[in-house]
Amino acid sequence: MSMRIFDGFKFTKLPTPVHQMDPRAKFILVMSIFAICLMFSNLLVLLIVFFAQIPIIASAKSLRRWSVSMKGGALLATLIFVMNFLTGTTLMYSLAMTVKFLALISCFSVFFMTTSPDDLGLALENVGMPFTLVFTFTTAVRLVPTMAVDAQTVIDAQRSRGLELEKGNFLKRIRNYIPILIPLIVSAIRRSIELAEALESRAFGASEKRESLVTLRMKLSDYLTAIVALAFLTLSIYVYFYIRLPSLEFAFKLPSIWPWSYA
């Protein structure tokens, strides 16, 4: 078991245009990509969506961490492909579902790699979310990579003690992870108690009216990014309902059990 998939969700502050973009504009961009991925099951469209994200990741100087995250998700992607293929779907449809999963991981990875939890919390407050909910969400965002590091530490420690995770049948492998889950749960409970005590000692929630030290302001580039993202989403909706897209299945002359193309 590897926690590398979470490497693409750790924020690192860098002086790049993507990092300096307003989180609200990035959120609109990510949700547009998310909606397009959910709408289409055409392999050609999903490949375009997946590879279109690479220039954005390159401009954020995060290609290495993104590639590590993609490698970490390879096991789940392979499982998705096998399960779809074994249920009687075509090869192209199984590949499309796999690429859809990777594209979804990629778009959220870009967002969390380049967005500070503090800026994300300010953006959520600006749209009217209660501060307690915002704090809970941003704390969870911060703790997920930390828990992934703890999990990898426990795995390495147990392997050094002779625990073999990859041997045995399916049920045996599940039981092998029990010595990992127990210390991980204990660590999570201990960390949550320490956090609760720290919040209580600082009188968290004593004042309902809060003022932030930093105020988010969208720049012209942020507005342009949001407009372009919404324009592509609108175009995708039009294509989905009114245009019949070519399928790679017919290009490779593969047999299909479906009487329609995957649009």
131 and 159, same domain (yes or no):
yes
pLDDT digits 0-9 by tens, 160-171: 888 777 776 767
109 and 227, same domain (yes or no):
yes
- Tell me the pLDDT band of 229, cut-offs 50, 70 and 90: very high
139 and 188, same domain (yes or no):
yes
112 and 224, same domain (yes or no):
yes
Looking at the domain assignment, is residue 90 inside a domain? yes
9 and 108, same domain (yes or no):
yes
Judged against a pLDDT cut of 90, whether residue 50 lies above it is answered with yes
57 and 40, same domain (yes or no):
yes
163 and 43, same domain (yes or no):
no
69 and 197, same domain (yes or no):
no
Q: What is the pTM of this model?
A: 0.75
45 and 164, same domain (yes or no):
no
Query: What is the total count of domains within the chain?
Result: 2
The confidence score (pLDDT) of residue 191 equals 86
The confidence score (pLDDT) of residue 255 equals 47
9 and 77, same domain (yes or no):
yes
Looking at the domain assignment, is residue 60 inside a domain? yes
105 and 125, same domain (yes or no):
no
Domain hosting residue 86, numbered range: 3-116+217-242
Give the integer Cα–Cα distance in Å for 63 and 106. 11
- Tell me the pLDDT band of 122, cut-offs 50, 70 and 90: confident
In sequence order, which residues have a C-beta less than 8 Å from that of residue 29 and are 6 or more positions away? Answer: 225, 226, 229
79 and 53, same domain (yes or no):
yes
Give the integer Cα–Cα distance in Å for 263 and 261. 6
First-to-last alpha carbon distance for the chain, in angstroms, is 35
The confidence score (pLDDT) of residue 259 equals 43
Give the integer Cα–Cα distance in Å for 166 and 250. 40
